[in-house]
Amino acid sequence: MKKCRLAIGLLFCLFLPAMGAAGESYTFDPAEIEKKPYHLGGYVEFKPLLFGLDREAAFYKLRFYNAPQGQTLPEWNGRVQLEGSYERGFYRVYARTNTDLKDTYAGTSERTVFHEAYVSVKP
């Protein structure tokens, strides 16, 4: 029982200085939360694939009859989605794009599409 009281007293003494620091006054800077006139965002996705090939299978012989491959076949897929907006007064410009990238044994492809793009005026 004495060990328990001693441990509680020791913990209290350790956290006593932190209680004084918690009593400081709170400062607030409105510039930190003011709405910015611009916004940039998006994400990047990367997905590597590695296919194991059975060289004795019938589909392998049909697909790669003139260009034999090794035991594995790598493929790289990626996606980048970007969005951004800018506001000034009562004008607003917004755009969102999506780009798909693919690199396979058959070749490389890239496709970019605008999902949204507009200009708005709010008087």
For the segment 95-123, what is each residue's pLDDT rounded down to a tens digit?
Answer: 999 999 999 988 999 999 999 999 999 88
Q: Specify the DSSP element, H or E, that contains 87.
A: strand 72-88
Q: Is the pTM of this model over 0.75?
A: no
pLDDT digits (tens, 9 = 90+) for 19-31: 655 556 777 777 7
pLDDT digits (tens, 9 = 90+) for 39-88: 999 999 999 999 888 888 888 888 777 777 778 889 999 999 999 999 99
pLDDT above 90 (res 18): no
Sheet holding 38-52, edge to edge: 38-52, 72-88, 91-104, 107-121
pLDDT above 70 (res 34): yes
- Which two tokens mark 6? 């001693």
pLDDT above 80 (res 89): yes
pLDDT above 70 (res 1): no
- Which two tokens mark 57? 């299978």
How far apart, in whole angstroms, are the C-alpha atoms of residue 102 and residue 76? 6
